[in-house]
Amino acid sequence: MSRTDRTPHRRRKPALLAGALVGAAALTVSTLGTASAEENPQTMQRVDNPYIGAGVYVNPEWSANAAAEPGGSAIADQPTGVWMDRTAAIEGTGQGAGRTMGLADHLDEAVVQAQGHDEFVFQVVIYNLPGRDCAALASNGELGPNDLNTYKNDFIDPIADILSDPAYADLRIVTVIEIDSLPNLITNVGSRPTATPLCDQMLANGNYVKGVGYALATLGDIDNVYNYVDAGHHGWLGWDDNFGPAAQLFHQAANAEGASPSDVAGFIANTANYSALKEDHFSINDVVNGTPVRQSSWVDWNRYTDELSFSQALRNQLVQLGFPSNIGMLIDTSRNGWGGDDRPTGPGPQTSVNAYVDGGRYDQRIHLGNWCNQSGAGLGERPVAAPEAGIDAYVWIKPPGESDGASREIPNDEGKGFDEMCDPTYGGNARNGWSMSGSLPDAPISGHWFPAQFQELLANAHPPVS
């Protein structure tokens, strides 16, 4: 469905409109310099890469948490993603001093922060699919596997209502659509040793694909929304068996429930993961004593060694499949810095392919499949627009210092489970080669503030935090 043949969503709060439009119009003038755009902010010009020339929203709640930590003020002004991770997050939760900001609160604040910028990006994560997180427990959500209508009516529609408020028409709204969902339908289903009953169910009932399609179609109808679909990371989809099928599934989802590939601005890799951006000391084509790097234990036949090479190749594949040729990639560099004293400064020894790769790699995980609160990880590249060909931006979508999952069972009202991958004493499963989990101890449930992890990320930042 194209942008024009749907009735634009209108928000219920006309009272906000008059005052907010003043600021919006002022921005529109400097953006476009046309009278017609000023009269109708919905005609704001779409751009290829929304990050170019734009300031990006700093979440005051994350910023306050960061600034309250020793040394944290050095990064507290960095933009991070705002997560809509349950229905209650839309309006904000809690009372009085403990109240959290809802989506409109964040957008109102974004309009304020936008003052003085020609362009301004607001980054929001859409994360509440039915049967969420089907291969893990740490981010299980509030909706059951068959709650597609609830997802559409009570989650996506209210979000669309807010995002389409004319008061926000001059913001460039970047959405990150449903982390991990479509990748799970590739690797954790059917006869794979990693299959789970819930992933099989979500594949069979089609509700991940339909939910993503509906989100793309509905949010994609809003002129100033730029949808980026989650594409896992190289240590998940970089194998030949996963890469092509994942791209096809993304294309299927982008044609489901009224969506079309033109609703997609791009894809995002490495969200909330730890995969290195660029491994400088070995490449996929290197051969050591006759053995290709692909056959090392670490790479294990993967086609890629890092996020940059994976992202650029995936972009090409997706364009070939029928996505617009100007789609761009985002890479979440919030926690893939792997700095600190142990960071290799050159290649490993050529004594064996494993010595070569293990001695040279930045990524210090025990296994590429480890994903929870990784010990030794550091902040990665600071957010920046258009850093490389095909890459729209490096972004910090996972707010550094927010846990990936509890290291033990902790009762909560968010639907979050306990995943052993977050327990540092756990010896692993088929998804991480039966390795130790590598996670930090004493972690709170996912999304909650985890000071010890924040300190670790700061200490191991690369580039370092000065």
133 given a catalytic annotation: yes
Q: Residue 270: which of 244, 236, 224 has the closest Cα?
A: 236
Q: Which residues fall within 8 angstroms of residue 10, CB to CB, at 6 or more apart?
A: 161, 164, 165
- Per CB under 6 A, 404 contacts ligand BGC: yes
Does 181 bind ligand BGC (CB under 6 A)? Our answer is no
Beta strands 328-332 and 287-288 are: unpaired
The residue (of 232 and 261) whose beta carbon lies closer to ligand BGC is 232
Is 180 catalytic? The answer is: yes
Residue 110 or 308: which CB sits closer to ligand BGC? 110
Question: Residue from 399, 400, 417, 428 that binds ligand BGC (CB under 6 A)?
Answer: 399
In whole angstroms, the minimum distance from the beta carbon of 456 to ligand BGC comes to 16
User: β-strand 54-56 against 82-84: which pairing, if any?
Assistant: unpaired
Which class for 429: exposed (0-12), middle (13-18), buried (19 or more C-beta within 10 A)?
middle
Q: Does residue 402 bind ligand BGC (CB under 6 A)?
A: yes
Bridge-based pairing of strands 391-395 and 328-332 is parallel
| Site map (CB under 6 A) of ligand BGC, residues 135-174, x = contact | ----x-----------------------------------
HEC string for 158-204:
HHHHHHCCHHHCCCEEEEEECCCHHHHHHHCCCCCCCCCHHHHHHHH
Residues 344, 363: Cα–Cα separation, whole Å: 10
Does 59 help bind ligand BGC (rule: CB under 6 A)? no
- Shortest distance (Å) from residue 288 CB to ligand BGC: 37
**Which range touches ligand BGC (CB under 6 A), out of 2-10, 378-386, 399-407, 458-466?**
399-407
302 belongs to the binding site for ligand BGC (CB under 6 A): no
Residue 419, interface with ligand BGC (CB under 6 A)? no
261 in contact with ligand BGC (CB under 6 A): no
Shortest reach from residue 128's CB to ligand BGC, in Å? 10
Give, in order, the Cα–Cα distances in Å from 13 to each of 42, 169, 178: 17, 15, 27
Helices and strands: H and E segment counts in the chain: 15, 11
- Binding-site residue ranges: 83, 85, 233, 236, 273, 371, 398, 402
Tokens read off for 380: 């990665």
Q: Quick check: bond before 463 cis, omega within 30? A: yes
Matching residue, tokens 């001695």 = 359
Q: How far apart are CA 162 and CA 222, in angstroms?
A: 11
By CB under 6 A, residue 62 contacts ligand BGC: no
Q: Which position among 49, 113, 123, 446 is part of the footprint of ligand BGC (CB under 6 A)?
A: 446
Q: How far is the CB of 175 from ligand BGC (least distance, A)?
A: 15
Strand-pairing partners, residue 332, are: 395
Q: H helices within 188-280, ranges in order?
A: 197-205, 207-220, 234-237, 240-253
Catalytic residue among 147, 161, 165, 180: 180
- Residue corresponding to tokens 């957008």: 107
Residues whose CB is less than 8 angstroms from the CB of residue 51 and which lie 6 or more positions away in sequence, other chains included: 121, 174, 385, 386, 392, 393
Residues 307-366 that bind ligand BGC (CB under 6 A): none
Instruction: Provide the minimum distance between the beta carbon of 232 and ligand BGC in the complex, in angstroms, as a whole number.
Output: 15
- Please select the residue that binds ligand BGC; options are 83, 122, 298, 338, rule is CB under 6 A: 83
**CB-nearer residue toward ligand BGC: 107 or 272:** 272
Q: Which stretch binds ligand BGC (CB under 6 A): 7-15, 323-331, 380-388, 398-406?
A: 398-406
* Binding site per annotation, positions for substrate: 83, 85, 233, 236, 273, 371, 398, 402
Q: Which residue is nearest to ligand BGC (CB)?
A: 447
- Candidates 155-163, 224-232, 329-337, 397-405; binding stretch for ligand BGC (CB under 6 A): 397-405
Estimate to the nearest angstrom the gap between the alpha carbon of 262 and the chain centroid.
20
Least spacing, CB of residue 404 vs ligand BGC, in Å:
6
DSSP result, 280-338:
-S--TT-EETTEEGGGSTTTTT-S-SSHHHHHHHHHHHHHHHTS-TT-EEEEE-SS---
By CB under 6 A, name the one of 11, 28, 85, 162 that touches ligand BGC. Answer: 85
> What is the nearest approach in angstroms of ligand BGC to the Cβ of residue 99?
16
Question: Where in the sequence numbering do the catalytic residues fall?
Answer: 133, 180, 404
Which residues lie near ligand BGC (CB under 6 A)?
83, 85, 139, 272, 398-399, 402, 404, 446-447
